[in-house]
Structure 1
């Protein structure tokens, strides 16, 4: 089993401390990681908790929160996401699914998964999680949280490989973040060149 490592995804000590102790915060950071910087996405859950006046996030409480108030919380400067309305809705939908399917316990998504494929299937079925997000989160759980059901690397695809700097799953400090950023920029440039 791969041991847990202290998370360093937001590059903010307080925000990373919440990600370390609150699995829902970590999952929400992954959900928010689109069309904004990775550090901002993984910083946002700590701000959400602070603005809700809680020290950890609870799926049932977030799911039941007044939707308009949640949008306002997301939109308050510094906004939690570039698209506060749609992302507040996605966060609520994800929390509602966790309540409905896992009795509000986010860790059940992975704690009793018997295979990497089952873990991936559970993640990809969540609101706001497509195939790529599910693969990256499978890799993050395996590489940094000690969640290693049989076949997890295969389920994570290339993101599960050792020695790569492709995604948030490979970020453990500022240097690895820079390497992931370089990889993403190179991949974007290659895709652009292929189109042109």
Structure 2
């Protein structure tokens, strides 16, 4: 039985995302994880992570890329993973590139894909990240964790959390998610996806402050994106001046 999902505003039900080019069969590099795929779904596009209701996000500032973020919880996790040493909107456009080139964002399929071809498609210009090949490996590592710890259901990370502290602990345990990234993603869930248990703002800290423009959690349009950029630029300049 799937964990209950919080009721959200402006939610839609995503029924599958095989990509415009159709589902592409990857080479399986880890047979032990391939069993996860067959046990969770008769077809990768029916996997649980593609059935979670989500709100319409405006992070990548691109209709297709934002649609992917809004309809696929694992895609949103990947976008957060890629959001480092790279422009934010381009990082969050990465999941759509993977979907278009690979054919699915099902973590069970990504986890078992042959690393070399997967790395190639992630690094092909326009790449998913400045360090496309390195981040391809991190995406696969994240996918394996979601399969092994959450049965391939990325949304279960937050729908199954007891409270915000438990959610933060779950996020920090993900590959590539440190304390700051975990708090930013939890703030995004709270501010834009309705994941707001009692005391969530206090548990998360400054990134959850209402009316702030600190991170991707506050990006809802081009204007707010620019405000977040300005905040980060000012914070970096202040830190440099203090060294």
Do both share a fold (TM > 0.5)? Answer: yes
CA distance in 2, matches of 1:166, 1:153: 14
RMSD of the TM alignment (CA)?
Answer: 1.2
Deviation at 1:2, TM superposition (A): 6.6
Task: Decide which of 184, 208, 214 is 1:166's aligned counterpart.
Answer: 214
**Runs of 4+ more than 3 Å apart:** 1-5
1:186 pairs with 2:234: yes
Q: Could you tell me how far 1:138 is from its partner in structure 2?
A: 0.2
1:28 equivalent in alignment to 2:86:
no
Q: Please tell me whether residue 129 in structure 1 is matched to residue 135 in structure 2.
A: no
- 2:9 maps to which of 3, 12, 15: 3
Shift of 1:108: 0.7
CA distance in 2, matches of 1:3, 1:134: 23
Structure number with bigger Rg? 2
Partner SS state of residue 123, structure 1: helix
Aligned-partner SS, 1:138: helix
Q: Distance in 1 between matches of 2:133 and 2:102?
A: 17
What is the Cα deviation at residue 155 of structure 1?
Answer: 2.6
d(CA) in 2 for partners of 1:25, 1:138? 15
Aligned to 1:38: 88
Q: Is structure 2 residue 164 aligned with structure 1 residue 116?
A: yes
Q: Residue 77 in 1 paired to residue 125 in 2?
A: yes
Q: Deviations over 1:86-140 (max 9, x none)?
A: 1111101111000010011001100021211000000001000000000000000
Structure 1 partner of 2:114: 66
Tell me how far apart the structure 1 counterparts of residues 242 and 62 of structure 2 sit (CA, whole Å).
36
Moved more, 144-153 or 184-193: 144-153
Residue 192 of structure 2 corresponds to residue 144 of structure 1:
yes
Determine if the alignment matches structure 1 residue 103 to structure 2 residue 109: no
Unpaired runs of 5+ residues, structure 1, are none
Q: Could you tell which deviates more after superposition, 3-12 or 19-28?
A: 3-12
Asked if 1:50 is matched to 2:56, the reply is no
Partner Cα separation in structure 2 for residue 7 and residue 171 of structure 1: 9
- For structure 2, the residue ranges without an aligned partner over 5 or more in a row are 1-6, 11-54
